[in-house]
Amino acid sequence: MPVEVTWWGHATCTIADSGVRVLTDPLFVRRFAHLRRRRGALPGPEATVADVVLVSHLHSDHLHLPSLARLAPGTRLIVPVGAVRSVPGLRVLRSARGLRITEVAAGDEVRVGELLVRAVPARHDGRRLPVGPHRSPALGYVVEGEARTYFAGDTGLFDEMAEAVGPVDVALLPVGGWGPYLGHTHLDAGRAAQALVRLAPRSAVPVHYGTYWPIGMDGVRPHEFHSPGDEFVRKAALLAPDVAVHQLTHGEHVRPEAAR
């Protein structure tokens, strides 16, 4: 059965491959801290069903403890090395919910059923903000089964990206953020299109945009909230015309291999 990708919003996706459900950076709330979900209904209970959950880094919009608490007891959780020490709430979830936590560094591989999950480097501040120590790297993951699917997490472009990630069939790439400004440790639509040139996947899905936005900032550079997906589609067509780009709405799924 071909790989199927569902985008739930922000960086939260389900990758279904070889009978295994992989959930990325789950975020299942309408509001947290200074952010409010402005587009897309909250994911339903089906979004929490996963055999393994991948956490790319420790920022609270990617490692969100209340959302992890909604996982079924005993769910396997793969996190960057040092995460349990840096985020004590993970220890609580491990004891109270029975989550099976595996810490990984770039280059580590974890077998999950018929899948092989490989951690790859990312160019991003991976610590628990605002004052967490630099103990945990930011990571991406390559999920290899019927297809090789790259979940980038949060990252900027870096020289060794193609070599570090390796050959992939599907790339889930961030193209925006939750605020009006992005630094170079993020991919915006243009840099994400450049990443396609480096990675040369068969298919791509833009994520990490058009979901959360700071409360009270609706009128500040609103195009940064609304436009990154469309902009990525346009720039990808110019820079990487051989890549099939699937721009999903919240809760929509696609089988990239079958759609090509």
More reliable by pLDDT, 237 or 127? 237
**Would the pTM count as exceeding 0.75?**
yes
**24 φ/ψ angles, rounded to the nearest 5 degrees:** -110, 135
Q: Are 121 and 141 in contact (CB under 8 A)?
A: no
With 70 as the cut, is the pLDDT of residue 150 above it? Answer: yes
Q: Give me the mean pLDDT over the 75-89 stretch.
A: 95
pLDDT, averaged across the chain: 93
**pLDDT tier for residue 260 given thresholds of 50, 70 and 90:** very low
Q: Give me the mean pLDDT over the 39-60 stretch.
A: 96
With 80 as the cut, is the pLDDT of residue 236 above it? Answer: yes
pLDDT at 56: 98
64-96 burial code (b ≥16 CB/10 A, e <16): beebbebbeeebbbbbbbbbbebbeebeebeee
With 70 as the cut, is the pLDDT of residue 134 above it? Answer: no
**pLDDT tier for residue 135 given thresholds of 50, 70 and 90:** confident
pLDDT at 104: 98
More reliable by pLDDT, 221 or 217? 217
* Three-state secondary structure call for residue 45: helix
With 90 as the cut, is the pLDDT of residue 258 above it? Answer: no
